[in-house]
Structure formats: structure tokens, C-alpha cells
Chain A
Amino acid sequence: MKKYETPLLDELEKGPWPSFVKEMKRAAAKNEMANDELGQVEKSYKDKRGYWKHGGIVGVLGYGGGVIGRYSSIPEEFPGVAHFHTFRINQPSGMYYKTERLREIMDLWDKYGSGLTNMHGSTGDMIMLGCRTEALEPLFAETSSRGWDLGGSGSALRTPACCLGKSRCEWANIDTMDLCNELTQAYQDYLHRPAWPYKFKFKIAGCAVDCVASIARADCSVIGTWKGKIAVDQSAVANYAKGGMNIQAEIVDMCPTGCMSYNGSELTIDDENCSRCMHCISKMTKALRPTGERGATILIGAKAPIVVGSLLSWVVVPFIKMEPPYTEFKELVEKMWEWWDDNAKPRERIGELIEMKGMRPFLEAIGVEPQAQQVYEPRKDPFFFWKEEDLNK
């Protein structure tokens, strides 16, 4: 195996933090693809340019997602990475694995690919980096025969992702893992057959702490919430104060709606004005607790800056019950898809389309009434306009 000198990459091994270079070198010691990847990345750092070609017709038969074509533009110099396709495997909800299942995946990946992975990609999938075209079908056959499936890519439903929800977190207002699994199973065709203008992502968080960052990363963010009051245990509040917490500065002054007050001995909450952001609860876990009916807030339109700038999700449904079989939610989502698919230009995300056409036609299309909670930014142009027939009423 050719030995590459990597003085620039070596710099990234220094320091106390984990280094991807160290891991690549470990893989390179036994895998030709990983070894040539190391050489090509060093050359990229030296020349200050990338040497990858991206995309094309690469995949497994019948699937339009899950494999992303990647080729080296200098295969004569680095033949091991002439083909270096990405293979996405749909992660289990909440990313729970038995170690034997992880070993199984890694054994297959050593057999068919470079041995390099990205655990996990930002969509949530297990990302296997570096596979030759002719190895894709046998790899897929072996992984699927063991119960794994490909994740989403391209203009498809991307692999739904969720926080670990009720499996470990007492604050989860909805069963995130069940909903994630249900959406994955119900929308297999949308996941594997890219039919839309662009990608669509679901991320499901059990509460507004939003451990999956759904509000910033998902076209459709599902965030668990509650309808009742926040129960306050005043003796626990006193213990926090005694323990050194500055309740005024750390809790009351940080409340985004200013609905809390503290008189030095008692914490009071004006629940009518609480936006259920979870800041106070996550800071004073022993003193505060949500009560009452549980469900989710549905938000739409977050994305990273690709075609236009980044967007955060926008509330469209302030509260919806989230219980199996999730019929109401699925019907809502399917209406969203239909409007987006009918109106969007190629590579236009649903959030961008709403920015372009306005929230009103979107709400009309999905059959949701305008509500105060949908106002994105106060004191900005309203997005509801009277129609001719409204004026005649």
C-alpha cells in the first residue's frame, strides 16, 4: 500500500480533541480506499481545492435515494477513491443500537467499502463514506437482508429523525420515537422514490428544548408541548436559591415572554402568557413541571442556506394531539406536500415557497385557520390580507 506523507493533516491530530485524521489513519492502515482518501484530502489541503465530482446516476435498483455518487477527479493519482459513493442507512428512532448490530454494519462496511463512517449525518442516517459502484448492489442486498434499509437523499423525504423522547426523558410530551418510526414506515415510497421539487425533512422533538434542533433543520418540525399550567414547587425553588442560583437573573429575566416574577421567596408564573419555551423548566427541573394535556406544535419551513438564506421554522399549528395512528397529522402533512409539489420551482424548499407566495395561500391550502400563535415577527407586515369577498361581508 502506498504511504502518503500528510504534514498538513497531521496538524489536525494535535490538541486534546478527537481528530478525524487519526481515525482516517487507523482505517487507512488496512483499507486501500481509506488510504487513498487520506492522500487525496492532503492534496486538497495543499492545493486549496477539492478533487471530488458529485452526483450522477448511482444507486441501487428501484431506489432513488440513499446513495450519493462521488468520484475523484484525479483517479489516476488516487485509484482507491476513483469511486467513493456515500451509502446512507436509515438509523433506528432515537439512535439506539445493540453493539452486535453496529459490529454487523461495520463488518459489512469493511467488506464492501472504505471502513470510514460519519455517525451520524445531519439528517440522522448512518453515513458510510466510500463505496465502489459495483459493490453497491451486494452491499444493499446484505444490509437489507439483515433488516436495515437505505435512508433518504435527493428530492425525497429525508429519513425522519427524533430525540430519544419518552425512552429516557421525563420532559417528552409526545412519543417521538413512535411517531418517527410511524412516519418512516408510512412514507416509504416518498423516502425511496424522489418525486418532489426538493428535499423534505421531519424532525421530532419531545419538548421545546429541541434536542434534535428541529426548529432550525426541519421543513416540518414537530415539537412536543402542553396545554396546562407549570406546576411550581416553592420549597424546591427556595432550595435552588439557597444553592446559589440567581433566580431573578437566570430564570425570570431570561423568560422570553416576561411571564414570571420572583419576590425573593416565591416564584409566580402568568401561564396565560407562557410560550412553553422550557427555559425555566430545564433550569429548575426539581421545582417546575408541565401539567395538563400533551401534544405538539407543528412548525414549517426551516432550512440551511443553499438556494436562499437560512430559515427557522414557523408555527402553523400551535397544538395538535399526537397519538397513534397520527391520522390528523398525516392528513395535514399530505396537504402541505400537495401544495408545495404543485407550486414550487425545482430546488425550492417549502419554507422558501411560503416566503415567496405568503403564509395565507399556504394556510388556505392546508385548511388551517389563521391564529395569533402563527405571527412570526411582531410589528412586521401582516401576512393576512382581506379578500374582495371579505370586504363585502
Chain B
Amino acid sequence: MEKEELKDKIFAFVQAAKGKKKLKEKDIIKGVSTETGEAADVVKKAMREMIDVGKLMYSYGGGSSSVEIPSEEYLREKGMIK
């Protein structure tokens, strides 16, 4: 699978869980790996690349972390979009 296609799958996976479940890195890696048949390491690398450019971001609540899609408002506050 092309990397961009895999990234789209990861994004869709995270989007589908929005408001229902806080996903940890491992949930995404396992879920997308099962769904696409790609190796866990490949999914992890693609996910990390998305995190590095702000397409996905780590979130924090009650001392525990998850991975989420950042809101436009947040990206605007960070100066990443106008």
C-alpha cells in the first residue's frame, strides 16, 4: 500500500473513533494493521509522520495520553493554519 493511502486509512480510523473512544498509539497501530494487513512498524512510522506535521496530535487527560485529530481552532492558535 502507498504511504499516503495508509495515512488516509489511519486518519479515517482515528476520525471514526472521535467522540467515542480515546485511542492510544497502540490501538491505532493494531487496528490499522489488522484492517490493512500492513506491518505494525509500517503503521507506526506513518502515524508518527502524521503526528510530526500536526495532522494528528497527542492529547492528554487525567495523566493519560491518546492520539486525536486536532481541531481547526487549535491549529489556528498554534499558527499552523490561518
Contact = CB atoms under 8 A, between A and B. Distances in A.
A195 B26 contact: yes
Given A61-B52, A62-B52, A194-B65, A153 B78 contact: no
Contact of B60 (A68, A195, A306, A347): A68
A56 B63 contact: no
Contacts of A197: 24, 64
Majority secondary structure of chain A interface residues (helix, strand, loop or mixed): loop
A20 to B, nearest CB: 23
A1 to B, nearest CB: 24
Nearest to B71: A57
A194 B62 contact: no
A294 to B, nearest CB: 36
Count chain A CB atoms within 10 A of each CB in B51, B58, B79 and give the residue with the most: B58
Interface in A41-100: 54-59, 61-65, 68-69
Given A63-B58, A137-B78, A57 B24 contact: no
Contacts of A68: 60
A57 B57 contact: yes
Count chain B CB atoms within 10 A of each CB in A134, A194, A306 and give the residue with the most: A194
Interface residues of A, number: 31
Contacts of A54: 61-62
Count chain B CB atoms within 10 A of each CB in A63, A136, A154, A197 and give the residue with the most: A154
A198 interface: yes
Contacts of A149: none
Interface residues of B, number: 26
Interface string A310-341: 00000000000000000000000000000001
Contacts of A134: 77-79
Interface in A176-203: 193-195, 197-199
A193 B29 CA distance: 14
A292 interface: no
Given A154-B65, A155-B64, A194 B57 contact: no
Interface string A276-317: 000000000000000000000000000000100000000000
A380 to B, nearest CB: 30
Majority secondary structure of chain B interface residues (helix, strand, loop or mixed): mixed
Contacts of B59: 55-57
B57 A347 contact: no
B60 A346 contact: no
Given A63-B58, A154-B58, A195-B25, A57 B74 contact: yes
A198 B63 contact: yes
A347 B64 contact: yes
A248 interface: no
Given A133-B77, A133-B78, A194-B25, A154 B52 contact: no
Interface string A150-169: 00011110000000000000
Contacts of A57: 57-60, 68, 70-71, 74
Nearest to A348: B64
Contact of B58 (A64, A133, A136, A137): A64
A324 B44 CA distance: 30
Interface string A341-367: 100001100000000000000000000
Contact of A341 (B26, B60, B74, B79): B26
Interface of B: 22, 24-26, 48, 51-54, 57-65, 67-68, 70-71, 74, 77-79
Interface of A: 54-59, 61-65, 68-69, 133-134, 136-137, 153-156, 193-195, 197-199, 306, 341, 346-347
28 contacts: A56-B59, A56-B61, A57-B58, A57-B70, A58-B60, A58-B74, A61-B53, A61-B78, A62-B51, A64-B67, A65-B58, A65-B65, A69-B60, A133-B77, A133-B78, A153-B60, A154-B58, A154-B64, A155-B24, A155-B63, A155-B64, A193-B48, A193-B58, A194-B58, A197-B24, A198-B63, A346-B22, A346-B24
